[in-house]
């Protein structure tokens, strides 16, 4: 991993998290998740009269771990900023975001950038603290 987190890295990780969440098994029906397979109601549906729908398999465990990490990052933000970040990660067009929040495109974009920068700043601070602790431990261990 690079020395410092950048806004591009965070945005890419959020997009990956949204794709990973979409690939998890189960169906969402009226806000509930069902892990049962689809029920076949008609004979024609059972034997290939409809075109097959190809889906990617379940995401690998490391992608799920990165997704969980990204979802934890969203807790650092205000609820509106969280919704904005996640909508963009899912690929929602700016026009729909503008309509949902009732703001101009430039305002939505600047709020998105500010939220991404807030995550970047916190991640870089945490990384700096972790590297500082590691350096102190290594120096302390070498003295023993």
Q: What is the pTM of this model?
A: 0.72
Token pair 């890419």: residue: 12
Q: Which residue has the higher pLDDT, 23 or 47?
A: 23
Q: Of how many residues is the chain composed? A: 144
Residue 83 to residue 90: CA distance in whole angstroms: 11
At residue 38, the 3 state secondary structure works out as coil
Where are the domains positioned within the chain? Answer: 7-22+58-143
CB proximity list for 76: less than 8 A, separation 6 or greater:
118, 119, 122
Q: Strand, coil or helix: what is 81?
A: helix
Residue range 35-83, pLDDT digits in tens? 666 666 666 666 666 676 677 788 899 999 999 999 999 999 999 999 9
Residue 122 and residue 140: Cα distance in Å, rounded? 27
């Amino acid at each position: 991993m690079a020395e410092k987190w950048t806004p591009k890295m965070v945005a890419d990780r959020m997009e990956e998290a949204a794709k990973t969440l979409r690939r998890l098994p189960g169906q969402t029906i009226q806000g509930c998740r069902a892990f049962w397979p689809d029920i076949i109601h008609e004979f024609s549906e059972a034997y290939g009269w409809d075109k097959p729908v190809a889906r990617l398999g379940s995401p690998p465990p490391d992608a799920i771990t990165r997704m969980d990490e990204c979802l934890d990052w969203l807790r650092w933000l205000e609820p509106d900023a969280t919704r904005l970040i996640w909508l963009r990660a899912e690929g929602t067009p700016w026009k729909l975001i503008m309509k949902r929040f009732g703001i101009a495109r430039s305002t939505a974009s600047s709020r998105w950038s500010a939220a991404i920068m807030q995550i970047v700043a916190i991640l870089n601070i945490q990384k700096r603290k972790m590297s500082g602790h590691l350096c102190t431990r290594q120096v302390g261990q070498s003295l023993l």
